[in-house]
Amino acid sequence: MDLKTLHKISYGLYIVTSGKDDDCNGQIANTVIQVTADPPRVGVCINKQNYTHEFISKYKVFSASILSQEAPMKLIGLFGFKCGRDLDKFEDVEYKVGETGSKIVLNNAVGYLEVKVFDSVDVGTHTMFIGDLVAAETLSDAEPITYAYYHEIKGGKSPKTAPTYIKEKKVEQTPKKERKKMAAYECTVCGYVYDPQEGDPENGIDPGTPFRSLPEDWVCPVCGAGKEDFEKIEEY
């Protein structure tokens, strides 16, 4: 069986939130789907270990902010690689409280959906929540980000709790002759690899910048971990 075939399925990237008033949490999910048109119904698949799972189970609602291609890695990292048990994810984001009472993230959202859950399916590691669409709003004409764009263009990673997670290989190796003597470093929190050849242009780091020359306040563009959370993976 070729598991890579699963990579041919297309997905988007969403911030799924649930809760009521200040008792709220949210996470990144790629598995938001419209399941029927009449009445409009939407489903989402959430890992049972994720904090957001507790909120959807308790409040029977969720909202999904549909992210644009411009969504910065920092926002994706905040909701995708940090846990709401450790910090309030809504502290530094723009949000509104929706009809369901749940906070909805507005940063880089082209629109959002609000869903009242009426059923759920235990699918093993995850639960598939299905519900009626009770509110929806388009916020911009920007291009929604696809999961493929996130991986290929933005260099994003999947946390191990993602339903579509497949163990990724280490960095693709440049042939030895073309390599310069610079080490790549891997974030021990999210698996992001800092490749000095590429730098981190999104955060003002030019290609060719060795890891040790990164400013001390530089953080992992995916999850926000500091330099001290990186480990050297290879001498080029």
Stretch near Fe ion under the rule CB under 5 A, chosen from 22-30, 116-124, 158-166, 225-233: 225-233
**Which one-letter DSSP state was computed for residue 151?**
H
Stretch near Fe ion under the rule CB under 5 A, chosen from 86-94, 133-141, 202-210, 214-222: 214-222
Q: Which is nearer to Fe ion, 184 or 220 (CB)?
A: 220
Q: Which of 104, 130, 184, 225 binds Fe ion (CB under 5 A)?
A: 225
| CA dihedral angle for residue 205, residue 211, residue 216, residue 220, rounded to 10 degrees | 70
Q: Which is nearer to Fe ion, 122 or 228 (CB)?
A: 228
Q: How far is the CB of 61 from Fe ion (least distance, A)?
A: 30
CA 10 to chain centre: 15
CA distance 197 to 195: 5
CA distance 195 to 185: 7
Whether the CB-CB separation of 20 and 65 falls below 8 Å is answered with no
Q: How far is the CB of 44 from Fe ion (least distance, A)?
A: 24
Q: How far is the CB of 18 from Fe ion (least distance, A)?
A: 25
Q: Give me the DSSP letters along 99-140.
A: TTS-EEE-TTEEEEEEEEEEEEEE-SSEEEEEEEEEEEEE--
Q: Give me the DSSP letters along 76-96.
A: HHHHHHS-TTTS-TTTTS-EE
Stretch near Fe ion under the rule CB under 5 A, chosen from 22-30, 58-66, 119-127, 216-224: 216-224
CA distance 214 to 207: 11
Stretch near Fe ion under the rule CB under 5 A, chosen from 28-36, 39-47, 117-125, 215-223: 215-223
Q: How far is the CB of 224 from Fe ion (least distance, A)?
A: 7
Q: Which is nearer to Fe ion, 76 or 115 (CB)?
A: 76
32 interacts with Fe ion by CB under 5 A: no
Q: How far is the CB of 187 from Fe ion (least distance, A)?
A: 3
Provide CB contacts within 8 A for 36, sequence distance 6+.
Answer: none
Q: How far is the CB of 146 from Fe ion (least distance, A)?
A: 21
Q: Which is nearer to Fe ion, 131 or 191 (CB)?
A: 191
Q: How far is the CB of 225 from Fe ion (least distance, A)?
A: 4
Whether the CB-CB separation of 41 and 133 falls below 8 Å is answered with yes
Give residues 161-190 in contact with Fe ion (rule: CB under 5 A).
187, 189-190
Give residues 186-205 in contact with Fe ion (rule: CB under 5 A).
187, 189-190, 192
CA angle (97, 102, 105) in 5-degree steps: 65
The residue ranges that bind Fe ion (CB under 5 A) are: 187, 189-190, 192, 220, 222-223, 225
